[in-house]
Amino acid sequence: MHVALIGYGEVGRILAEDLRSAGHVVSAFDVKLPDGDEAMRAHAGRHGVTLAPSHGEAVATAELVISAVTARRTVEAARSCAGTLSPGAFFLDFNSASPGAKRAAAQPITRQGGRYVEGAVMTAVPPHRLKVPLLLGGPHAAALAPVLRDLGFAPQVGSSELGVASATKMCRSVMIKGLEAMVIESFTAARRYGVEDAVIASLGETFPGVDWERQATYFFQRVIEHGRRRGEEMHEAAGTVREAGLDPWSADATAARQDWMADLGDEGLFGDRDQPGFARSTDWRVEADRILDHLDGERALEEAP
């Protein structure tokens, strides 16, 4: 089967590896490619993925298109692919976007005769790879599900109504990404006061099923490595809450913390993103200390005469 990947970041590359190992034809496009992203080109070369110079050329003969871009590019990616999409081709939108954004993305695909399906990825992709729990939505979800199973995915049809699957994902994200932000804020502050061990012990008594040391390290790693994407997702989650008629106080605050961590990462606080081992500290305290040292440095500059 010819599968086109729009977005060749972490998720796109994992999908490419598994699809190619099963013998499928894979083409891909990423907005970073025209500027010459060597890591992407090297990965594609190793795995036999054809990199296209544009959205349209990537999807022109594909039977299935998987859009795995940042949340803010959800609608733009669909519009860019629609013009050359083969009639009847499936367009699976993997992106963490609001129901409103998914409905907007579906319009250009549908007008061109494509079959748009929203896919809500319900947990982190890397541990599960193709088998990541995937909730499908929209009028073509039931038709796509057996195709995805044949490819090795683990889909579940959520609803034939477009927007229900993404609402499920976004409401979950308010909790999961919010917990990430709260752990980073709570544990970093606790580290400043020297009470982190007492806080973790208390959390262990309240939630005995959670290994808070391990969970904190994982949360720090994921936010440091993917804070920008998570921030965009939380802006979409805030939009989802707003569409429901609520003020998204928690979602907005989570987005701000995720964006803040992404900004620190862009400044190089946590190391070089292109080097092996980036965001892979075995102790969350290492990263918390970096944050605290950075804040001390900023405070010293502000107080300097």
Domain endpoint, select from 161, 194, 209? 161
Q: What is the pLDDT of residue 151?
A: 96
Same domain? For 127 and 178 the reply is: no
Same domain? For 157 and 173 the reply is: no
Output the domain CATH number for residue 11. 3.40.50.720
Instruction: Report the domain count for the chain.
Output: 2
Could you read off the pLDDT of 149-192 as tens digits, one per residue?
999 999 999 999 999 999 999 999 999 999 999 999 999 999 99
| Of the candidates 216, 147, 205, 208, the residue with the CA atom closest to the CA atom of residue 180 | 216
Could you read off the pLDDT of 206-219 as tens digits, one per residue?
999 999 999 999 99
Asked whether the beta carbons of 199 and 187 are under 8 A apart, the reply is yes
Same domain? For 85 and 152 the reply is: yes
Output the domain CATH number for residue 180. 1.10.1040.10
User: Containing domain of residue 264, as a range?
Assistant: 167-303
Same domain? For 10 and 152 the reply is: yes
CA distance 155 to 117: 12
Q: What is the pLDDT of residue 272?
A: 78
What proportion of the chain, given as a percentage, has pLDDT over 90? Answer: 86
Under DSSP, the state recorded for 135 is: E
Q: What is the pLDDT of residue 36?
A: 65
Same domain? For 147 and 294 the reply is: no
Same domain? For 217 and 241 the reply is: yes
Same domain? For 125 and 175 the reply is: no
CA distance 59 to 89: 9
Mean pLDDT to the nearest integer, 66-74: 93
Same domain? For 51 and 67 the reply is: yes
Q: What is the pTM of this model?
A: 0.84
Q: Is the dihedral of CA 252, 213, 196, 200 positive or negative?
A: positive
